């Protein structure tokens, strides 16, 4: 076993400018500094704040939807109250707005906020922005000003979209399918505002993706070849490729949709000769790859946390890395599986086949993670809880996708709660859980504070159980024929809906606990050392929180990112965080 002190960037030999969080003096100086910063870390944190704010709004909408579904016909208390309040405030027309209409809008907003504004930019823009340059030993991303511009564009686009919510919201469903998006709601401007918001946020996504691709190509530290990169970097790289190649198509789609809405352009309108299914092709050519924009960074986080907290080299590094690229490639070949019920049979058959291909690289990843755990020295901290939770939930989510990829079963399950449960298991059980894993893993690095481990674990169990309570029952509901997006339903489904709604409250409680632990940590958390978990990737060489220029000296890569079996991280003090016995042996 070699114990090489490789770490040129170790902070103990001075010359650093102070942490990036260091105040510039006055409050105004700080605000000005953060508003004009080109530092990827600050931009990452700014993204995180914006994202979590929007996650909160989207979550409120979800809770409203769940409350509405407590009763089979309608819940007058909530939706009716919202109607009267809206009318009193003058944002809703005095007539023609029913509680069902409110329900449709809440459901649409939940979907639109969570997908376009939270989960698509989610991990890459926040954690990716913060850690990608750190992990490859760079001082910043390739185009720092573009990075800042991306944040502003994103916020601007979100405000545009939220403006449509404030003046009453849209009821098209987040997919903006025509003719809902061209014919419902006599008021054009809300749909136009939402689609314009999506268009603008597309630019933010492209800027981020473009930046990351170039960063990975051009700014890796000396000695870091492609196969020395941490797998999170691979995942972000694959994600960035999808962002660059898929997002422009949604740009043109929503542009056409705006033309359609304003001038009845006709491309998607059968009255002029257009085809609504064409819109679905346009939309899903973007929005299916986007599903992988959402999940690939989550895979990357899991590769980091599972190795670090099981103190084990990743099993099959290249397989996991290439699986990321494979998923990115296949993601462009499967979009029409969202339209099995509306497209021609020939295409449906081809796309069904192609869809099954996605299972291959995904399964490679899951098996490799499980193999990584084998004989690892697993540390059961919050991060590991979330990592294992991810494996469990994502596997359910992935396997329940297979019946949806099969043409015959999809005819039955399409647009039912089964689909809702499936994608929540993948998107929430996958991405959000992994993001929580990443946040707990990197929290000490980002803010230089430890959090209360037992409280965080409590949060995990609430989130985990609440999530399963909310969504597992929906598989059964869907298989029994409960269609998605309906405000009213037959009485026989009520018990299951009530269970689901209780689950959503538990989920809320879990998030509140996490909010509390994070805030508590910021205020009076124990200061974190540079490397509290004994991580091997380069970001753990920086200070906690990192210096303004990341590393005091450009780091040189001399060991792989997961060489836990041969190298002891030099700045790691087991006293900070006791390891189990015999941590470095097989």
The three-state (H, E, C) secondary structure of 314-374, written as one string: CCCHHHHHHHHHHHHHHHHHCHHHHHCCCCCHHHHHHHHHHHHHHHHHHHHHHHHHHHHHC
Residues 222-241 that bind other proteins (CB under 8 A): 222-223, 225-226, 228, 241
- Other CB atoms within 10 A of residue 333 CB: 17
Q: Which of 67, 163, 167, 245 binds other proteins (CB under 8 A)?
A: 245
Nearest to other proteins of 103, 268 (CB atom) = 268
* Torsion angle, alpha carbons of 317, 321, 324, 326, to 10: -100
With respect to other proteins, which residue has the nearer C-beta, 278 or 363? 278
Which residues, numbered 484-543, are part of the site for other proteins (CB under 8 A)?
none
Integer CA distances (angstroms), 233 to 118, 432, 561, in order = 20, 18, 11
Collapsed DSSP state (helix, strand, coil) of residue 250:
helix
Q: Closest separation between CB of residue 184 and other proteins, Å?
A: 14
Sites for other proteins among residues 338-377 (CB under 8 A): 343-347, 350-351
291 binds other proteins (CB under 8 A): no
Task: Please count the other Cβ atoms lying within 10 Å of the Cβ belonging to residue 519.
Answer: 12
Residues 109, 153, 170, 249: which binds other proteins (CB under 8 A)? 249
Tell me which residues in 4-43 interact with other proteins (CB under 8 A). Answer: 4, 6, 8
Cβ 2 to other proteins, closest distance in Å?
A: 4
3-state helix, strand, coil in the chain (%, to 5): 65, 0, 30
Q: What are phi and psi of 171, to 5 degrees?
A: -125, 40
Asked if residue 179 binds other proteins (CB under 8 A), the reply is no
| Spatial separation of the C-alpha atoms in residues 489 and 421, rounded to whole Å | 17
CB 413 within 8 A of CB 488: no
128 backbone dihedrals φ, ψ, rounded to 5°: -60, -45
180 binds other proteins (CB under 8 A): no
User: Which lies closer to other proteins via its Cβ, residue 208 or residue 383?
Assistant: 208
Which listed residue (194, 235, 267, 426) binds other proteins by CB under 8 A? 267
404-443: contacts with other proteins (CB under 8 A): none
Give me the least distance between CB of 286 and other proteins, in Å please.
9
By CB under 8 A, what part of segment 313-332 binds other proteins? 332
Q: Is there binding between residue 568 and other proteins (CB under 8 A)? A: no
Region of 88-96, 220-228, 319-327, 396-404 interacting with other proteins (CB under 8 A): 220-228
Stretch that binds other proteins, among 20-28, 278-286, 360-368, 375-383 (CB under 8 A): 278-286
b/e burial code for range 45-68 (CB count within 10 A of at least 16 → b): bbbbebbbebbebbbebbbbbbbb
CA distance 544 to 530: 5
Closest CA to 239 of 112, 129, 337, 315: 129
Q: Answer yes or no whether residue 281 interacts with other proteins by CB under 8 A.
A: yes
Contact segment (CB under 8 A) with other proteins among 114-122, 169-177, 270-278, 309-317 equals 270-278
- Residue of the chain from 138, 233, 235, 310 that contacts other proteins (CB under 8 A): 138
Q: Does 156 bind other proteins (CB under 8 A)?
A: no
Beta carbon of residue 244, minimum distance to other proteins (angstroms, whole number): 5
| 558 forms part of the interface with other proteins (CB under 8 A) | yes
Judged by CB under 8 A, the stretch of 219-227, 291-299, 360-368, 568-576 that binds other proteins is 219-227
Contacts of 90 (CB under 8 A, 6+ apart): none
What is the CB neighbour count within 10 angstroms for residue 327? Answer: 26
Interface segment toward other proteins; rule CB under 8 A; list 119-127, 269-277, 488-496, 578-586 = 269-277
Q: Which is nearer to other proteins, 116 or 475 (CB)?
A: 116
Number of residues that bind other proteins (CB under 8 A): 72
273 binds other proteins (CB under 8 A): yes
Paired with 449 in beta bridges are 527
Helix runs in 122-187, H state only? 122-123, 129-135, 144-166, 180-183
């Amino acid at each position: 076993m070699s114990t090489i002190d490789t770490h040129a960037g170790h902070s103990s030999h001075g010359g650093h400018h102070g942490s990036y969080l260091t105040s510039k003096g006055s409050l105004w100086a700080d605000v000005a500094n953060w508003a004009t910063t080109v530092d990827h870390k600050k931009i990452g944190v700014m993204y995180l704040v914006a994202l979590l704010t929007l996650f909160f709004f989207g979550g409120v909408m979800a809770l409203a939807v769940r409350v509405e579904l407590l009763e089979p016909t309608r819940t007058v208390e909530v939706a009716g109250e919202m109607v009267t309040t809206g009318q009193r405030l003058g944002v809703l027309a005095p007539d023609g707005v029913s509680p069902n209409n409110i329900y449709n809008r809440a459901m649409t907003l939940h979907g639109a906020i969570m997908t376009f504004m939270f989960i698509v930019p989610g991990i890459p823009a926040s954690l990716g922005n913060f850690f990608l340059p750190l992990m490859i030993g760079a001082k910043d991303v390739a185009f720092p000003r573009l990075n800042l511009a991306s944040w502003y564009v994103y916020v601007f686009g979100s405000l545009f979209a939220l403006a449509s919510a404030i003046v009453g919201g849209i009821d098209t469903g987040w997919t903006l399918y025509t003719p809902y998006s061209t014919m419902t709601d006599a008021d054009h401007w809300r749909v136009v505002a939402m689609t314009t918001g999506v268009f603008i946020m597309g630019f933010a996504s492209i800027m981020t993706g473009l930046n990351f691709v170039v960063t990975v190509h051009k700014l890796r530290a000396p000695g870091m070849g492609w196969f020395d990169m941490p797998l999170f970097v691979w995942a972000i790289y694959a994600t960035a490729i999808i962002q660059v190649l898929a997002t422009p198509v949604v740009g043109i789609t929503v542009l056409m949709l705006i033309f359609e809405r304003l001038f009845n352009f006709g491309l998607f309108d059968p009255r002029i000769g257009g085809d609504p299914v064409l819109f679905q092709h346009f939309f899903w050519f973007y929005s299916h790859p986007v599903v992988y924009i959402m999940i690939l960074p989550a895979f990357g986080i899991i590769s980091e946390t599972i190795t670090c907290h099981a103190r084990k080299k990743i099993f099959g590094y290249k397989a996991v890395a290439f699986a990321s690229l494979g998923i990115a490639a296949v993601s462009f070949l499967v979009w029409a599986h969202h339209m099995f019920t509306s497209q021609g049979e020939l295409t449906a058959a081809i796309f069904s086949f192609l869809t099954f291909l996605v299972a291959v690289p995904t399964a490679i990843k899951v098996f490799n993670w499980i193999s990584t755990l084998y004989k690892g020295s697993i540390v059961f901290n919050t991060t590991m809880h979330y990592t294992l939770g991810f494996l469990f939930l994502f596997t359910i989510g992935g396997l329940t996708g297979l019946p949806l990829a099969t043409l015959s079963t999809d005819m039955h399950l399409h647009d039912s709660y089964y689909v809702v449960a499936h994608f929540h298991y993948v998107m929430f059980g996958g991405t959000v859980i992994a993001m929580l894993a990443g946040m707990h893993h990197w929290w000490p690095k980002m803010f230089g504070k430890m959090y209360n481990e037992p409280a965080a674990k409590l949060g995990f169990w609430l989130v985990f159980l609440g999530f399963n309570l909310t969504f597992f029952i929906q598989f059964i509901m869907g298989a029994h024929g409960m269609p998605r997006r309906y405000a009213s339903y037959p009485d026989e489904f009520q018990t299951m809906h009530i269970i689901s709604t209780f689950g959503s409250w538990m989920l809320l409680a879990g998030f509140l606990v996490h909010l509390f632990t994070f805030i508590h940590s910021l205020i009076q958390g124990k200061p974190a050392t540079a490397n509290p978990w004994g991580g091997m990737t380069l970001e753990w060489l920086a200070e906690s929180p990192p210096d303004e220029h990341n590393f005091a000296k450009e780091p040189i890569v001399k060991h792989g990112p997961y060489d836990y079996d041969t190298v002891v991280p030099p700045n790691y003090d087991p006293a900070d965080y006791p390891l189990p016995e015999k941590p470095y042996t097989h």
